[in-house]
Amino acid sequence: MTKLSVNINKLATLRNSRGGNMPNLIKSAKDIESFGAQGITIHPRPDERHIKYQDARDLKKVVTTEYNIEGNPIPKFIDLVLEVKPTQVTLVPDAEDAITSNAGWDTIKHKDFLVDIIQTFKENDIRTSIFVDPNIEMVKGAADTGTDRIELYTESFAHDFALGRKAEGVKTFTEAAKKASELGLGINAGHDLNLENIQFFKENIPNLLEVSIGHALICESLYLGLENVVNMYLHRLK
């Protein structure tokens, strides 16, 4: 079964919009795990507009499933990850002012940079994953960095799926996943995956280990309830 890691950034955004501690991020993470999710993901940004760096520390004390921290490996982020030591760190090349992640790494251009950072994390027993587009050359480049896994950036798939181009949209992802497996890389995926497209994606991506879903899952939960939605995803990922 592909594991579901729930990104709780949107809950932090809601909390921060009014100050105080509602919704309670720590309780929410524990509840999400109790509903069956196999992981919690956060993406702290330098301005802490949703997840705060202290949240990362506090969550470490309560998360009992896989704990994934993703972000751009600027010095402040690297220091946080080395302090918290999550299960996995996912490296994302987003600008500091980006609303959300919008591209994978150029693993060839940034190879030396990624090699050094990945080695540091692995020396501290933190599993590494890097955000990549479904491009065979970028997957090959990822393997050369020493990373444990890649996370396929799935926005283009979700866009094509919504337009009725399911087969065309997933093809490059299937090919990228096959190449990643050949090269010994684990495969994660995330960005714009939702209840409508997740099962088709899962069925067409060989050896898909984990998906990270936040925005869509929280939006769907407004209508259907958080516990119900978590279990709907788990059913589709079996």
Task: Show the tokens assigned to 75.
Answer: 């010095």
Furthest CA-CA distance within the chain: 48
Query: What is the sign of the dihedral through the CA atoms of 17, 21, 25 and 27?
Result: negative
Query: Which of 33, 66, 191, 210 is labelled catalytic?
Result: 191
Query: Which of 33, 43, 50, 66 is labelled catalytic?
Result: 43
Query: Which of 33, 66, 70, 220 is labelled catalytic?
Result: 70
**HSE-up of 25 (CA within 13 Å, CB side)?**
28
Rounded to whole angstroms, the Cα distance separating 80 from 86 reads: 10
To the query of whether residue 191 is one of the catalytic residues in this protein, the response is yes
Question: CB count, 10 Å around CB of 235?
Answer: 11
Cα dihedral 170, 173, 175, 179, rounded to 10, equals -160
To the query of whether residue 50 is one of the catalytic residues in this protein, the response is no
Which single residue is written with the structure tokens 């020396």?
123
Residue 150: beta bridge partners? 130, 187
To the query of whether residue 215 is one of the catalytic residues in this protein, the response is no
List active site positions.
Answer: 43, 70, 191
